[in-house]
A and B are shown apart, each in its own frame.
Chain A
Amino acid sequence: MEVRVLLFASYADAFGSPNVSVTVREGATVKELLARVKEMAVGHSLPPAPLIAINQEYAAPGDVVRAGDEVALIPPVAGG
Protein backbone atom coordinates (compact mmCIF):
# COMPACT_ATOMS: atom_id res chain seq x y z
CA MET A 1 0.00 0.00 0.00
CA GLU A 2 1.05 3.56 -0.61
CA VAL A 3 1.37 5.93 2.34
CA ARG A 4 1.79 9.69 2.13
CA VAL A 5 4.28 11.09 4.60
CA LEU A 6 4.12 14.79 5.54
CA LEU A 7 7.44 16.52 6.10
CA PHE A 8 7.98 19.73 8.02
CA ALA A 9 10.62 22.48 8.25
CA SER A 10 14.18 21.14 7.77
CA TYR A 11 12.91 17.69 6.69
CA ALA A 12 10.79 19.23 3.92
CA ASP A 13 13.84 21.27 2.94
CA ALA A 14 16.09 18.22 2.77
CA PHE A 15 13.59 16.29 0.63
CA GLY A 16 12.72 19.36 -1.45
CA SER A 17 9.00 18.68 -0.87
CA PRO A 18 6.44 18.96 1.95
CA ASN A 19 5.44 15.32 1.44
CA VAL A 20 6.64 12.03 -0.04
CA SER A 21 4.89 8.77 -0.89
CA VAL A 22 6.31 5.40 0.08
CA THR A 23 5.08 1.87 -0.58
CA VAL A 24 4.95 -0.51 2.37
CA ARG A 25 3.32 -3.89 2.98
CA GLU A 26 -0.14 -4.10 4.58
CA GLY A 27 0.31 -4.15 8.33
CA ALA A 28 3.70 -2.46 8.21
CA THR A 29 4.95 -0.79 11.38
CA VAL A 30 6.14 2.79 11.81
CA LYS A 31 9.67 1.42 11.98
CA GLU A 32 9.33 -0.28 8.58
CA LEU A 33 7.81 2.84 7.06
CA LEU A 34 10.66 4.94 8.40
CA ALA A 35 13.17 2.49 6.90
CA ARG A 36 11.48 3.03 3.48
CA VAL A 37 11.75 6.82 3.81
CA LYS A 38 15.41 6.48 4.80
CA GLU A 39 16.11 4.53 1.62
CA MET A 40 15.16 7.60 -0.42
CA ALA A 41 17.89 9.85 -1.86
CA VAL A 42 18.25 12.24 1.10
CA GLY A 43 16.61 9.92 3.64
CA HIS A 44 19.91 9.22 5.37
CA SER A 45 19.82 12.78 6.73
CA LEU A 46 16.94 11.83 9.05
CA PRO A 47 17.82 11.06 12.66
CA PRO A 48 17.61 7.43 13.86
CA ALA A 49 14.32 8.02 15.71
CA PRO A 50 12.50 11.15 14.48
CA LEU A 51 9.26 12.31 16.08
CA ILE A 52 6.43 10.68 14.10
CA ALA A 53 2.67 11.24 14.31
CA ILE A 54 -0.08 9.23 12.66
CA ASN A 55 -3.39 11.02 12.20
CA GLN A 56 -2.14 13.74 14.54
CA GLU A 57 -1.34 11.26 17.35
CA TYR A 58 2.17 10.43 18.57
CA ALA A 59 3.24 7.09 17.01
CA ALA A 60 5.63 4.55 18.57
CA PRO A 61 8.02 2.51 16.35
CA GLY A 62 5.89 -0.64 16.76
CA ASP A 63 2.56 1.01 15.82
CA VAL A 64 0.89 -0.25 12.64
CA VAL A 65 0.35 2.06 9.66
CA ARG A 66 -2.91 1.74 7.73
CA ALA A 67 -3.84 2.76 4.19
CA GLY A 68 -5.02 6.36 4.14
CA ASP A 69 -3.22 7.29 7.35
CA GLU A 70 -1.67 10.74 7.54
CA VAL A 71 1.90 10.18 8.69
CA ALA A 72 3.92 13.21 9.77
CA LEU A 73 7.67 13.47 10.40
CA ILE A 74 8.32 16.35 12.77
CA PRO A 75 11.81 17.81 13.07
CA PRO A 76 13.27 19.70 16.00
CA VAL A 77 13.35 23.44 15.28
CA ALA A 78 15.42 25.88 17.32
CA GLY A 79 14.95 29.33 15.81
CA GLY A 80 13.60 32.09 17.96
Chain B
Amino acid sequence: MLPDLARDEISRYARHLIIPSVGVEGQRKLKAARVLIVGAGGLGSPVALYLAAAGVGHIGLVDFDVVDVTNLQRQILHGTKDIGRSKLESARDTIADINPHVELTTYETALTSNNALDIIRQYDLVVDGTDNFPTRYLVNDACVLLGKPNVYGSIFRFEGQASVFSAKDGPCYRCLFPEPPPPGTVPSCAEGGVLGVLPGLIGTIQATEAIKLIIGIGDPLVGRLLLVDALAAQFRSVNVRKNPACPACGTREITELIDYDQFCGIPQAAAAMSAAGEMPEITPIELAERLRAGDVDLIDVREQNEWDFARIPGARLIPMGEFPEASSELDRNRDIVVQCRSGMRSGKVLRQLQAAGFTRVWNLAGGILRWSDEVDPSVPKY
Protein backbone atom coordinates (compact mmCIF):
# COMPACT_ATOMS: atom_id res chain seq x y z
CA MET B 1 0.00 0.00 0.00
CA LEU B 2 1.49 3.31 -1.05
CA PRO B 3 1.08 6.23 1.39
CA ASP B 4 -1.43 8.95 0.53
CA LEU B 5 -0.39 12.51 -0.21
CA ALA B 6 -1.65 15.20 2.16
CA ARG B 7 -3.14 18.37 0.70
CA ASP B 8 -0.01 20.46 1.20
CA GLU B 9 2.04 17.71 -0.42
CA ILE B 10 -0.16 17.84 -3.49
CA SER B 11 0.64 21.54 -3.86
CA ARG B 12 4.33 21.02 -3.11
CA TYR B 13 4.73 18.31 -5.74
CA ALA B 14 2.33 19.85 -8.31
CA ARG B 15 4.99 20.04 -11.06
CA HIS B 16 5.62 16.32 -10.66
CA LEU B 17 1.96 15.37 -10.45
CA ILE B 18 1.11 16.96 -13.79
CA ILE B 19 3.74 14.85 -15.61
CA PRO B 20 1.66 11.91 -16.86
CA SER B 21 4.39 9.31 -16.30
CA VAL B 22 4.92 10.45 -12.71
CA GLY B 23 1.47 11.46 -11.53
CA VAL B 24 0.04 10.75 -8.10
CA GLU B 25 1.21 7.16 -8.16
CA GLY B 26 4.83 8.11 -8.96
CA GLN B 27 4.78 10.70 -6.20
CA ARG B 28 3.39 8.16 -3.74
CA LYS B 29 6.19 5.77 -4.73
CA LEU B 30 8.69 8.53 -3.95
CA LYS B 31 7.02 9.08 -0.58
CA ALA B 32 7.21 5.36 0.18
CA ALA B 33 10.86 5.10 -0.90
CA ARG B 34 13.81 4.64 1.42
CA VAL B 35 17.14 5.82 -0.02
CA LEU B 36 20.52 5.59 1.70
CA ILE B 37 23.11 8.19 0.69
CA VAL B 38 26.66 7.26 1.65
CA GLY B 39 28.65 10.47 2.13
CA ALA B 40 27.34 14.00 2.75
CA GLY B 41 30.09 15.66 0.71
CA GLY B 42 30.42 16.78 -2.90
CA LEU B 43 28.15 14.15 -4.45
CA GLY B 44 25.98 13.53 -1.39
CA SER B 45 25.03 17.22 -1.22
CA PRO B 46 23.13 17.57 -4.52
CA VAL B 47 21.79 14.03 -4.19
CA ALA B 48 20.32 14.73 -0.74
CA LEU B 49 19.00 18.16 -1.74
CA TYR B 50 17.22 16.94 -4.86
CA LEU B 51 15.90 13.70 -3.39
CA ALA B 52 14.54 15.63 -0.41
CA ALA B 53 13.00 18.27 -2.66
CA ALA B 54 11.51 15.56 -4.88
CA GLY B 55 9.70 14.06 -1.90
CA VAL B 56 11.62 10.84 -1.19
CA GLY B 57 9.90 9.86 2.05
CA HIS B 58 12.84 8.45 3.94
CA ILE B 59 16.49 9.38 3.45
CA GLY B 60 19.39 7.81 5.32
CA LEU B 61 22.68 9.68 5.40
CA VAL B 62 26.06 8.25 6.42
CA ASP B 63 29.02 10.50 7.23
CA PHE B 64 31.44 11.07 10.11
CA ASP B 65 33.06 14.30 8.98
CA VAL B 66 32.91 17.89 10.15
CA VAL B 67 32.30 20.82 7.76
CA ASP B 68 35.59 22.43 6.74
CA VAL B 69 35.92 25.73 4.89
CA THR B 70 37.54 23.90 1.92
CA ASN B 71 34.32 21.85 1.51
CA LEU B 72 32.12 24.86 0.75
CA GLN B 73 33.29 25.31 -2.85
CA ARG B 74 31.19 22.24 -3.77
CA GLN B 75 29.37 20.71 -0.78
CA ILE B 76 26.17 22.73 -1.08
CA LEU B 77 24.38 21.02 1.81
CA HIS B 78 26.59 23.09 4.09
CA GLY B 79 27.11 26.84 4.48
CA THR B 80 29.63 29.21 6.00
CA LYS B 81 27.72 29.19 9.31
CA ASP B 82 28.21 25.39 9.48
CA ILE B 83 32.03 25.38 9.53
CA GLY B 84 33.13 23.14 12.39
CA ARG B 85 29.69 21.47 12.74
CA SER B 86 29.00 17.84 12.03
CA LYS B 87 28.04 17.41 8.37
CA LEU B 88 25.02 15.38 9.41
CA GLU B 89 23.69 18.11 11.72
CA SER B 90 24.21 20.67 9.00
CA ALA B 91 22.52 18.37 6.46
CA ARG B 92 19.58 17.85 8.82
CA ASP B 93 18.90 21.60 9.01
CA THR B 94 19.22 22.10 5.25
CA ILE B 95 16.98 19.15 4.40
CA ALA B 96 14.34 20.13 6.98
CA ASP B 97 14.20 23.56 5.39
CA ILE B 98 13.88 22.21 1.85
CA ASN B 99 11.23 19.65 2.70
CA PRO B 100 9.90 19.05 6.23
CA HIS B 101 7.99 16.00 4.98
CA VAL B 102 11.23 14.02 4.62
CA GLU B 103 12.11 11.64 7.40
CA LEU B 104 15.89 11.65 7.83
CA THR B 105 17.97 9.02 9.60
CA THR B 106 21.60 9.91 10.19
CA TYR B 107 24.48 7.53 10.81
CA GLU B 108 27.43 9.42 12.28
CA THR B 109 29.96 6.71 11.49
CA ALA B 110 32.18 5.43 8.75
CA LEU B 111 30.47 2.71 6.72
CA THR B 112 32.38 -0.47 7.62
CA SER B 113 32.23 -4.19 7.00
CA ASN B 114 30.66 -4.49 10.47
CA ASN B 115 27.75 -2.08 9.98
CA ALA B 116 27.16 -1.88 6.20
CA LEU B 117 24.74 -4.80 5.85
CA ASP B 118 22.65 -3.76 8.86
CA ILE B 119 22.36 -0.20 7.59
CA ILE B 120 21.84 -0.89 3.88
CA ARG B 121 19.31 -3.66 4.55
CA GLN B 122 16.81 -1.03 5.71
CA TYR B 123 16.79 0.82 2.36
CA ASP B 124 15.45 0.24 -1.16
CA LEU B 125 18.50 1.61 -2.90
CA VAL B 126 21.88 3.14 -2.18
CA VAL B 127 23.52 6.24 -3.65
CA ASP B 128 27.30 6.02 -3.47
CA GLY B 129 28.87 9.41 -2.80
CA THR B 130 31.98 8.16 -1.02
CA ASP B 131 35.48 9.44 -1.71
CA ASN B 132 37.76 6.42 -1.50
CA PHE B 133 38.24 2.99 -3.08
CA PRO B 134 37.84 0.77 0.01
CA THR B 135 34.39 2.23 0.73
CA ARG B 136 33.37 1.96 -2.94
CA TYR B 137 34.15 -1.77 -2.96
CA LEU B 138 32.40 -2.13 0.40
CA VAL B 139 29.24 -0.39 -0.88
CA ASN B 140 29.35 -2.52 -4.02
CA ASP B 141 29.71 -5.85 -2.26
CA ALA B 142 27.10 -5.02 0.37
CA CYS B 143 24.61 -3.98 -2.34
CA VAL B 144 25.30 -7.16 -4.34
CA LEU B 145 24.88 -9.36 -1.25
CA LEU B 146 21.59 -7.66 -0.37
CA GLY B 147 20.35 -7.27 -3.96
CA LYS B 148 20.02 -3.46 -3.68
CA PRO B 149 20.68 -1.18 -6.65
CA ASN B 150 23.79 0.99 -6.19
CA VAL B 151 23.59 4.38 -7.89
CA TYR B 152 27.24 5.11 -8.45
CA GLY B 153 29.02 8.39 -9.14
CA SER B 154 32.61 9.54 -8.85
CA ILE B 155 34.58 12.65 -9.75
CA PHE B 156 38.09 13.83 -10.56
CA ARG B 157 38.96 17.44 -11.47
CA PHE B 158 36.77 18.08 -14.55
CA GLU B 159 35.59 14.51 -15.16
CA GLY B 160 33.09 12.15 -13.65
CA GLN B 161 31.48 8.75 -13.99
CA ALA B 162 27.99 7.54 -13.17
CA SER B 163 26.19 4.21 -13.45
CA VAL B 164 23.64 1.99 -11.74
CA PHE B 165 25.32 -1.13 -10.40
CA SER B 166 23.99 -4.27 -8.82
CA ALA B 167 20.59 -3.94 -10.47
CA LYS B 168 18.85 -7.05 -11.75
CA ASP B 169 20.82 -8.36 -14.78
CA GLY B 170 23.31 -5.48 -14.71
CA PRO B 171 27.00 -5.51 -13.86
CA CYS B 172 28.46 -4.40 -10.55
CA TYR B 173 31.42 -2.11 -9.81
CA ARG B 174 33.75 -5.12 -9.57
CA CYS B 175 32.74 -6.32 -13.05
CA LEU B 176 34.25 -3.10 -14.42
CA PHE B 177 37.08 -2.60 -11.96
CA PRO B 178 38.01 -6.04 -10.57
CA GLU B 179 41.29 -4.81 -9.11
CA PRO B 180 41.64 -1.63 -7.03
CA PRO B 181 44.44 0.67 -8.18
CA PRO B 182 47.58 0.63 -6.01
CA PRO B 183 47.26 3.12 -3.11
CA GLY B 184 48.44 6.61 -3.97
CA THR B 185 48.11 6.22 -7.76
CA VAL B 186 44.69 7.85 -8.11
CA PRO B 187 44.51 11.27 -6.43
CA SER B 188 41.56 12.14 -4.19
CA CYS B 189 39.71 15.47 -4.48
CA ALA B 190 41.92 16.81 -1.66
CA GLU B 191 45.07 15.81 -3.55
CA GLY B 192 44.05 16.37 -7.18
CA GLY B 193 41.42 19.07 -6.83
CA VAL B 194 37.93 19.11 -8.32
CA LEU B 195 35.85 21.73 -10.09
CA GLY B 196 33.20 22.74 -7.57
CA VAL B 197 30.28 22.34 -9.95
CA LEU B 198 31.36 18.85 -11.11
CA PRO B 199 29.82 16.95 -8.16
CA GLY B 200 26.71 18.98 -8.97
CA LEU B 201 26.70 17.56 -12.50
CA ILE B 202 27.35 13.97 -11.42
CA GLY B 203 25.26 14.10 -8.23
CA THR B 204 22.19 15.35 -10.10
CA ILE B 205 22.62 12.45 -12.53
CA GLN B 206 22.69 10.09 -9.54
CA ALA B 207 19.59 11.75 -8.07
CA THR B 208 17.84 11.47 -11.46
CA GLU B 209 18.70 7.77 -11.69
CA ALA B 210 17.47 7.15 -8.14
CA ILE B 211 14.14 8.84 -8.92
CA LYS B 212 13.77 6.87 -12.18
CA LEU B 213 14.41 3.61 -10.34
CA ILE B 214 11.91 4.46 -7.61
CA ILE B 215 9.13 5.49 -9.99
CA GLY B 216 10.03 2.84 -12.54
CA ILE B 217 10.27 5.09 -15.59
CA GLY B 218 12.80 5.54 -18.38
CA ASP B 219 15.99 3.66 -19.17
CA PRO B 220 18.21 3.53 -16.11
CA LEU B 221 22.01 3.58 -16.42
CA VAL B 222 22.09 -0.19 -15.87
CA GLY B 223 24.78 -1.78 -18.04
CA ARG B 224 26.05 1.64 -19.06
CA LEU B 225 28.88 3.70 -17.64
CA LEU B 226 28.36 7.41 -18.26
CA LEU B 227 31.61 9.37 -18.69
CA VAL B 228 31.28 13.12 -18.25
CA ASP B 229 34.00 15.49 -19.42
CA ALA B 230 33.07 18.99 -18.33
CA LEU B 231 35.95 20.66 -20.19
CA ALA B 232 35.10 19.04 -23.51
CA ALA B 233 31.37 19.36 -22.71
CA GLN B 234 30.97 15.72 -23.67
CA PHE B 235 28.85 12.92 -22.27
CA ARG B 236 29.77 9.41 -23.44
CA SER B 237 27.89 6.35 -22.37
CA VAL B 238 29.81 3.10 -22.67
CA ASN B 239 27.91 -0.19 -22.72
CA VAL B 240 29.33 -2.51 -20.09
CA ARG B 241 28.37 -6.03 -19.17
CA LYS B 242 28.22 -8.37 -16.28
CA ASN B 243 31.44 -10.38 -15.88
CA PRO B 244 30.51 -14.05 -15.35
CA ALA B 245 33.79 -14.48 -13.41
CA CYS B 246 33.04 -11.53 -11.09
CA PRO B 247 33.55 -12.83 -7.52
CA ALA B 248 30.75 -10.57 -6.25
CA CYS B 249 27.86 -10.86 -8.72
CA GLY B 250 29.11 -13.64 -11.06
CA THR B 251 30.49 -16.67 -9.22
CA ARG B 252 29.22 -15.23 -5.93
CA GLU B 253 32.29 -16.48 -4.08
CA ILE B 254 32.12 -13.31 -1.98
CA THR B 255 29.54 -14.41 0.57
CA GLU B 256 30.40 -11.92 3.29
CA LEU B 257 32.04 -8.52 3.58
CA ILE B 258 35.82 -8.54 3.73
CA ASP B 259 38.53 -6.17 4.97
CA TYR B 260 38.44 -3.53 2.23
CA ASP B 261 41.50 -1.59 3.37
CA GLN B 262 43.44 -4.85 3.06
CA PHE B 263 41.85 -5.55 -0.35
CA CYS B 264 42.91 -2.10 -1.56
CA GLY B 265 46.48 -2.61 -0.30
CA ILE B 266 46.41 0.21 2.25
CA PRO B 267 48.04 -1.54 5.26
CA GLN B 268 50.53 -3.20 2.88
CA ALA B 269 51.57 0.21 1.49
CA ALA B 270 51.96 1.59 5.02
CA ALA B 271 54.07 -1.43 5.99
CA ALA B 272 56.28 -0.95 2.92
CA MET B 273 56.70 2.69 3.89
CA SER B 274 57.85 1.84 7.42
CA ALA B 275 59.99 -1.09 6.21
CA ALA B 276 62.03 1.52 4.34
CA GLY B 277 63.08 2.79 7.79
CA GLU B 278 61.74 5.59 9.92
CA MET B 279 61.03 8.78 8.00
CA PRO B 280 63.52 11.46 9.10
CA GLU B 281 61.28 14.37 10.05
CA ILE B 282 61.62 17.94 11.22
CA THR B 283 58.85 19.91 12.97
CA PRO B 284 57.77 23.34 11.68
CA ILE B 285 59.23 25.08 14.75
CA GLU B 286 62.61 23.36 14.29
CA LEU B 287 62.56 24.26 10.60
CA ALA B 288 61.81 27.93 11.36
CA GLU B 289 64.92 28.06 13.56
CA ARG B 290 67.08 26.34 10.94
CA LEU B 291 65.83 28.75 8.25
CA ARG B 292 66.72 31.71 10.47
CA ALA B 293 70.21 30.23 10.92
CA GLY B 294 70.39 29.75 7.14
CA ASP B 295 71.97 26.31 7.38
CA VAL B 296 69.31 24.31 5.54
CA ASP B 297 67.93 24.11 1.98
CA LEU B 298 64.12 23.95 1.87
CA ILE B 299 62.68 22.27 -1.22
CA ASP B 300 58.94 22.58 -1.95
CA VAL B 301 57.83 19.63 -4.12
CA ARG B 302 54.28 20.85 -4.85
CA GLU B 303 53.04 22.17 -8.19
CA GLN B 304 53.52 25.72 -9.48
CA ASN B 305 49.81 26.55 -9.08
CA GLU B 306 49.91 25.61 -5.39
CA TRP B 307 53.12 27.62 -4.90
CA ASP B 308 51.38 30.65 -6.43
CA PHE B 309 48.93 31.04 -3.54
CA ALA B 310 50.72 29.53 -0.52
CA ARG B 311 54.40 29.04 0.24
CA ILE B 312 56.95 29.08 3.03
CA PRO B 313 59.39 31.99 2.65
CA GLY B 314 62.85 30.72 1.79
CA ALA B 315 61.63 27.60 0.00
CA ARG B 316 62.64 26.66 -3.54
CA LEU B 317 60.06 25.04 -5.83
CA ILE B 318 60.98 21.76 -7.55
CA PRO B 319 57.70 19.94 -8.41
CA MET B 320 57.58 16.27 -7.52
CA GLY B 321 57.39 15.20 -11.17
CA GLU B 322 60.89 16.60 -11.79
CA PHE B 323 62.43 14.04 -9.42
CA PRO B 324 64.60 11.95 -9.46
CA GLU B 325 66.35 13.92 -12.28
CA ALA B 326 66.22 17.20 -10.31
CA SER B 327 68.19 15.65 -7.44
CA SER B 328 71.39 16.53 -9.36
CA GLU B 329 70.58 20.22 -8.65
CA LEU B 330 70.70 19.64 -4.89
CA ASP B 331 73.75 20.11 -2.69
CA ARG B 332 74.50 16.81 -0.95
CA ASN B 333 76.82 18.57 1.48
CA ARG B 334 74.01 20.61 3.02
CA ASP B 335 71.01 19.59 5.11
CA ILE B 336 67.92 19.39 2.91
CA VAL B 337 64.28 19.61 4.04
CA VAL B 338 61.54 18.58 1.59
CA GLN B 339 58.03 19.89 2.03
CA CYS B 340 54.56 19.74 0.44
CA ARG B 341 50.99 20.45 1.60
CA SER B 342 50.60 17.65 4.16
CA GLY B 343 53.92 15.78 4.08
CA MET B 344 52.66 12.90 1.88
CA ARG B 345 54.24 13.85 -1.44
CA SER B 346 57.45 15.15 0.12
CA GLY B 347 57.71 11.82 1.99
CA LYS B 348 57.76 10.04 -1.37
CA VAL B 349 60.39 12.44 -2.73
CA LEU B 350 62.45 11.90 0.41
CA ARG B 351 62.46 8.15 -0.25
CA GLN B 352 63.62 8.79 -3.83
CA LEU B 353 66.42 11.00 -2.55
CA GLN B 354 67.47 8.37 -0.03
CA ALA B 355 67.51 5.81 -2.84
CA ALA B 356 69.74 8.19 -4.81
CA GLY B 357 72.21 8.21 -1.90
CA PHE B 358 71.20 11.39 -0.07
CA THR B 359 71.67 11.01 3.69
CA ARG B 360 71.07 14.55 4.96
CA VAL B 361 67.36 14.84 4.09
CA TRP B 362 64.34 15.48 6.34
CA ASN B 363 60.61 15.72 5.69
CA LEU B 364 58.65 18.68 7.07
CA ALA B 365 56.13 16.93 9.36
CA GLY B 366 52.58 17.95 8.48
CA GLY B 367 53.70 20.13 5.58
CA ILE B 368 52.33 23.61 4.96
CA LEU B 369 49.16 22.76 6.92
CA ARG B 370 51.12 22.32 10.16
CA TRP B 371 53.48 25.20 9.32
CA SER B 372 50.42 27.47 9.13
CA ASP B 373 49.16 26.17 12.50
CA GLU B 374 52.43 26.35 14.39
CA VAL B 375 54.63 28.99 12.79
CA ASP B 376 52.94 31.38 10.38
CA PRO B 377 49.12 31.54 10.14
CA SER B 378 49.41 34.03 7.27
CA VAL B 379 50.27 31.06 5.00
CA PRO B 380 46.83 29.87 3.78
CA LYS B 381 45.73 26.31 4.48
CA TYR B 382 44.04 24.52 1.61
Q: Chain A, 44-69, contact with B by CB distance < 8 Å: what is the 0/1 string?
A: 01011101010011100000000000
Given contacts A56-B236, A80-B154, contact A74 B227 (CB under 8 A): yes
Query: Chain A residues near B238 (CB, 8 Å)?
Result: 53, 56-58, 72, 74
Given known contacts A47-B179, A76-B133, A58 and B157 CB-to-CB distance under 8 angstroms = no
User: Does A79 contact B154, Cβ atoms closer than 8 Å?
Assistant: yes
Q: Top 3 closest A-B pairs, CB basis? A: A80-B131, A77-B154, A53-B238
Interface string of A1-27 (1 = CB under 8 A from B): 000000011100100001000000000
Contact A47 B181 (CB under 8 A): yes
A1 vs chain B, min Cβ distance (A): 22
Contacts of A80 in B (CB 8 A): 39, 41-44, 128-131, 153-155, 189, 199
How many whole Å from B141's CB to the nearest CB in chain A?
A: 15
User: In the docked arrangement, what's the CA distance between A79 and B199, Å?
Assistant: 9
Q: Does B194 contact A (CB under 8 A)?
A: yes
CA distance A78 to B129 in the complex (A): 9
Q: Is A43 an interface residue (CB 8 A)?
A: no
Contact with A along B222-248 (1 / 0, CB 8 A): 000101010010001111110000000
Compute how far the CA of A17 lies from the CA of B330 in the bound complex, rounded to whole angstroms: 30
Can you add 5 more A-B contacts, CB < 8 Å, to A76-B181, A80-B44?
Answer: A8-B229, A79-B131, A80-B42, A80-B129, A80-B189
**Do most interface residues of chain B lie in helix, strand or loop, or is the interface mixed?**
mixed
**Chain B residues, Cβ within 8 Å of A74:** 161, 176, 225, 227, 238
Q: Looking at B136, B185, B189, B238, which has the most chain A CB atoms within 10 Å of its CB? A: B238
Most buried by B among A58, A75, A78: A78
B237 to chain A, nearest CB (A): 7
Give chain A nearest CB distance to B232 CB in angstroms: 7
For this complex, into which size category does the number of interface residues on chain B fall?
Answer: 35 or more
Q: Spell out A's residues near B (CB within 8 Å).
A: 8-10, 13, 18, 45, 47-49, 51, 53, 56-58, 72, 74-80
Complex Cα spacing A47 to B177, Å: 10
Residues of B within 8 A of A57 (CB): 238-239
Partner of B180, one of A18, A48, A58, A76: A76
A77 touches B189 (CB 8 A): no
23 contacts between A and B (CB under 8 A): A8-B229, A9-B157, A10-B192, A18-B232, A47-B181, A53-B239, A56-B237, A56-B238, A56-B239, A58-B238, A72-B227, A74-B176, A76-B133, A76-B186, A77-B186, A78-B132, A78-B136, A78-B188, A79-B155, A79-B192, A80-B39, A80-B155, A80-B189
B39, closest chain A residue (CB): A80
Contact flags (1/0) for B180-211 with A, using CB distance below 8 Å? 11000111110010100001000000000000
Report the nearest B residue to A45, measured CB to CB.
B185
Say whether B179 contacts A75, CB under 8 Å. no
Most B-side CB within 10 Å, residue of A9, A18, A47: A9
Distance to closest chain B CB from A73 (angstroms): 11
Q: Determine whether the beta carbon of A8 is less than 8 Å from that of B153.
A: no
